[in-house]
Structure 1
Amino acid sequence: MASSTTFPQALSTMARNTALLAGTALAAGTALVGYGMYETQKFGLRRETLPLLPQGSNDIRILHLSDIHMVPGQQLKRRWLHELAELRPDFVINTGDNLSHPRGIPALLEALGPLMQFPGAFVPGSNCYFAPQLKNPFRYLKRSRTTPRNPAEKALPYEQMHRAFGAAGWVNMTNRNLSVPLNGIRLDLSGVDDPHLDRDSFAGWPAGSASALRAPHVKIALTHAPYQRVLDAFTGSGAEIIFAGHTHGGQVCIPGYGALVTNCDLPTWRARGLTEWEFEGRSVPLNVSAGIGNSRFVPIRIACPPEAVLVTLTAATN
């Protein structure tokens, strides 16, 4: 006669299976976090080419940096940023969130030193003004709106950083416009303060002489967070290319699907890369950087490695 399993034996088997499943899930979770931490160090360069310049113009190579989130001691990031200077860009655009630590400015300026030899422009992000805080990571998965900061949050000495950028020749485009001559082309720049803090105020485009529009020029817009209201304002006013960051490319992505969130109202399929933004019949290239760093409280990236972007503006063929 076959023996039957007793109730205590069944409970014991269930307990073993549950423990096995829990152990497997823990091991998988640990491995995933470990890989996510490893991917934060897989720095790469994305290259894009856009025919936006007048016929006969020489190329202009723009290096786009965003979301560096510098922390003291990040030597691999420092060395990689130094290596980017070997590209010899014509212009550097920095779209903010440079810090992730109250004492990160010396490390940031040392890391950017070689790149600050080239002309450039910048706009700030929230982590230029305020140090990141430890928060529930699941809040990041909620649909984000603009978030005015709590005055009690840790303010960062961003003025020191901006003075160093300015001393190197990088122009501050916070809610302002400015023209910069470069390689026989006039770069008409317009930038806004961080829309994620609801500080943006579009200043329009630089006003020049009566013949200014006939001179070779290109209109370049800068923002940290690519909120739709800002992209619409840039596009409707005549921008020819828009640079943005903030999204971290989604930071945690699903292979084959992409980003789950953008931390703003930008559609997730635009979380990183070069796309076309359309508004009122106009279409403008929008370059959203996946960023170079991450908050020190969420030190992982999954299926979304860090990047800088080299955008080459070339002459239109016809």
Structure 2
Amino acid sequence: MGRRGGTGLIAALAASALAGAAAFAWGSLIERRLFTLREVTVPILPPGAEPIRVLHLSDLHMAPWQRDKQRWVAGLVDLKPDLVVSTGDNLGHEDGLVGIRRALETYRGIPGVQVHGSNDFYGPMRKSWFAYLKRHSGGVKKRKPDLDTAALDRFFGETLGWLDLNNAVGSMTVNGTVLDFFGVDDPHVHRDRLGLLTRLIDEQKDDQTLDTDDPGLSRHVSIGVAHAPYQRVLNAFVTHGAQLILAGHTHGGQVCIPGYGAVVTNCDIPRSKVKGLSVWTHALRSSFLNVSAGLGTSIYAPVRFACRPEATLLKLVAAQH
């Protein structure tokens, strides 16, 4: 290679390195703090029903010093949501509950539901960033839970009054519509119990059919909630009649390539559904699916690129028949 060719190669490598450094600086210093509200409309309510505003929060991965994120989340209460849904991975540090309290205490008295993510049990660990580029890295953890999940659940249940949907069901009436919820604990670490959920949903439906004189039976809407949107869970939810499914976990890919999208999804969901509102179809039935790109990252991987942190405001409206 001649001197000119060698000089050109060095210049190209230097330019590539500079572009990579600039992208990393943007993603780690700026974009991961560009908190964004996404708004969507979902037509699933009965005819004539009053709209319901649902605030979907996910993957806060909260550390106590993250005051900007805490203030931003607390300020979303000004949207006047009728319901809050948290799809897990709230904690990002052993003292993360301190930040969760600052962010969510303003929602006291607003109905809500929640499920766990794996990072509500296990604190973050240093590991190779290349491990994240695998198709997905689910599995039973080899270590014991080291976060205070019980304290987190007490805050959600006793302080905020939210329903715990970890392998559980529940109902509430919001703006005149009965919302029937069912949810699972985190599928990413195999804590979901779909067999148990089937029995609980059957019992819930049996109890409802006993009330044959209740005119509100025609005003029920079913919503499934999970942290990680694995296909086995989404398929089961659709089979059980979910009209809307809410999930998180993917971080929207966290690092995306403009024009291509997410490099990985960290589960078996297709890349086309890694974030945002879509439709999930299974066995000739379908449900709206909203996957949140989430608001945080691991404290050991503090970068987002072409994938801003987000919360979602879903406006549930009457379906058009």
Aligned mate of 1:264, from 256, 267, 290 = 267
Say whether 1:209 aligns with 2:208.
yes
Structure 2 unaligned residues grouped into runs of 5+? none
Matched with 2:150 is: 159
One-letter amino acid of the structure 2 residue matched with residue 221 of structure 1:
G
Secondary structure (helix, strand or coil) at the match of 1:134 reads coil
Matched with 1:239 is: 242
Deviation for aligned residue 1:260: 1.4
Matched with 2:192 is: 200
Deviation for aligned residue 1:234: 0.3
2: CA distance between counterparts of 1:19 and 1:255?
26
One-letter amino acid of the structure 1 residue matched with residue 299 of structure 2:
R
Matched with 1:248 is: 251
Matched with 2:127 is: 135
Say whether 1:74 aligns with 2:73.
no
Aligned mate of 2:112, from 109, 120, 129 = 120
Say whether 1:56 aligns with 2:48.
yes
Secondary structure (helix, strand or coil) at the match of 1:117 reads coil
CA contact (8 A) 2:55 2:85 kept: yes
One-letter amino acid of the structure 2 residue matched with residue 306 of structure 1:
P
Structure 1 unaligned residues grouped into runs of 5+? 1-6
Structure 2 counterparts to residues 210-229 of structure 1, below 5 A:
210=209, 211=212, 214-229=217-232
Matched with 1:3 is: none
Secondary structure (helix, strand or coil) at the match of 1:57 reads coil
Residue 180 and residue 255 in structure 1: after superposition, are their counterparts in 2 closer, same or farther (change >3 A)? same
One-letter amino acid of the structure 2 residue matched with residue 132 of structure 1:
P
CA contact (8 A) 1:145 1:265 kept: no
Runs of 4+ in 1 over 6 A off after TM superposition: 10-13
Deviation for aligned residue 1:317: 3.0
Secondary structure (helix, strand or coil) at the match of 1:300 reads coil
2: CA distance between counterparts of 1:13 and 1:116?
66
Residue 190 and residue 13 in structure 1: after superposition, are their counterparts in 2 closer, same or farther (change >3 A)? closer
CA contact (8 A) 1:192 1:222 kept: yes
Matched with 2:19 is: 28
Deviation for aligned residue 1:24: 3.0
Secondary structure (helix, strand or coil) at the match of 2:102 reads helix
CA contact (8 A) 1:116 1:165 kept: no
Structure 2 counterparts to residues 177-188 of structure 1, below 5 A:
177-188=169-180
Question: Could you list the per-position Cα deviations for residues 208-251 of structure 1 after superposition, in whole angstroms to 9, with x for gaps in the alignment?
Answer: 23226834110000000000000000001111100000000000
Matched with 1:4 is: none
In the alignment of these two chains, the number of paired residues is: 308
1: CA distance between counterparts of 2:247 and 2:153?
18
CA contact (8 A) 2:41 2:314 kept: yes
CA RMSD of aligned residues (A): 1.9
CA contact (8 A) 1:116 1:170 kept: no
Question: Could you list the per-position Cα deviations for residues 2-50 of structure 1 after superposition, in whole angstroms to 9, with x for gaps in the alignment?
Answer: xxxxx9xx67994x66654554333222211111111101111111111
2: CA distance between counterparts of 1:316 and 1:24?
53
One-letter amino acid of the structure 2 residue matched with residue 254 of structure 1:
I
CA contact (8 A) 1:84 1:115 kept: no
In terms of mean alpha carbon deviation, does 189-198 or 100-109 score higher? Answer: 100-109
Matched with 1:283 is: 286
One-letter amino acid of the structure 1 residue matched with residue 208 of structure 2:
S
Pick the structure with greater CA Rg: 1
CA contact (8 A) 1:131 1:155 kept: yes
Matched with 2:142 is: 150
2: CA distance between counterparts of 1:200 and 1:293?
23
